[in-house]
Structure 1
Amino acid sequence: MISIENLWLSYTDKSVLEDINLDIYQGDFLLVSGPNGGGKTSLLRTILGLQKPTRGAIYFFEKGEPVDSLDIGYLPQKNSIDSKFPITVEEVVASGLMGKSAKRPQSVLKREIDYMLDLMGITALRERPIGVLSGGQLQRTLFGRALISHPEMLILDEPSSYIDRQFEVRMVDILRELSSRGTTIMMVSHEIEPFIALSNRNLYIDHTLGDR
């Protein structure tokens, strides 16, 4: 699905990623660990096109043919979200359907949103602005946004941060089911233990890339 070739990323004089080469295949579950500041989030953001590499290239493929982009669901780190932005829980989850909503009847969209709110356990919070949410509530909201479009790939940056043990178990179950259906998953996590049994590849990033 993705081929990363000789990727370098630098900020001013600081090198963040150095000569990253990585192929990601359909159905992979990649669990990525490494120290703070080692470039894990930067790699995810570069794959997503949110920042441009200093050198190197990223190529995308569908059924073996090159394409410009892929349908990717993204859960960013909570600290990258502006919690003061005036948007509700329901609106955040629904924003994951952006670009697809014009192709579906409103009744279908509502059912999908209702289902995802229920799956995340946040139905009662649907009209609340995100600024009043706890860390765990916001994390579940962002997880719902990443999942709602049924993307072919999920990129998750510390998804278990702030959530309680009960929802962590549910998250593991959800990801296991998605992986069994062929969804490609790339996850950065300091807490690898809950997810290690799901992954087929474990990577370690400390500016350079290695397998564990």
Structure 2
Amino acid sequence: KMKEKRHIFAWDLLLSVALGQVLSLLICGIGLTSKYLSEDFHANTPVFQSFLNYILLFLVYTTTLAVRQGEENLLAILKRRWWKYMILGIIDIEANYLVVKAYQYTTLTSVQLLDCFVIPVVILLSWFFLLVRYKAVHFIGIVVCILGMGCMAGADVLVGRQQGAGDLLVLGGATLYGISNVCEEYIVRNLSRVEFLGMIGLFGSFFSGIQL
């Protein structure tokens, strides 16, 4: 039984790492295309890019909730927690907006590195609100992360790059991403993944449509 548990744990760990790498690749693709749009086409569409994502979530997951029966139905969820998902939806929208907007003011490398500020934000919020307890190695990782961001900002100053506004936009977006991610983890653990994605699709489409 111990061997079976270790085998399952090993596969779960490998799957988590693999999915994480796929996610990193997709995020990198978003960064490249966002930078390409802002530099080569002078496109100023940070809200529109996110709006399409929310529409897709709405079409798939919000409609799934709409056809469900009982307490997991869309209307039943809205009656109980509509204002919480409204706030979460706005936070998620502005997080996407700030980071995509930053590509107009700073380099792709700066955005990708400074976006790692989401890690200490998530760990701090998870400690206080999800009651997750971390080991010393996790805090060492946070220190390395922050040092890396500091080195990146210092390098920009040394070479005379005037991109402070872009760096601040990334840090603001990363902070909001951290809040959104912690809320997402709580909802997925205690409620359901479909409910989270459906509600984000609903409120994300509505408020990003207004902002657009």
Q: What's the TM-score, normalizing by structure 2?
A: 0.28
Q: What's the TM-score, normalizing by structure 1?
A: 0.28
Specify which structure has the higher proportion of helix. 2
Specify which structure has the higher proportion of strand. 1
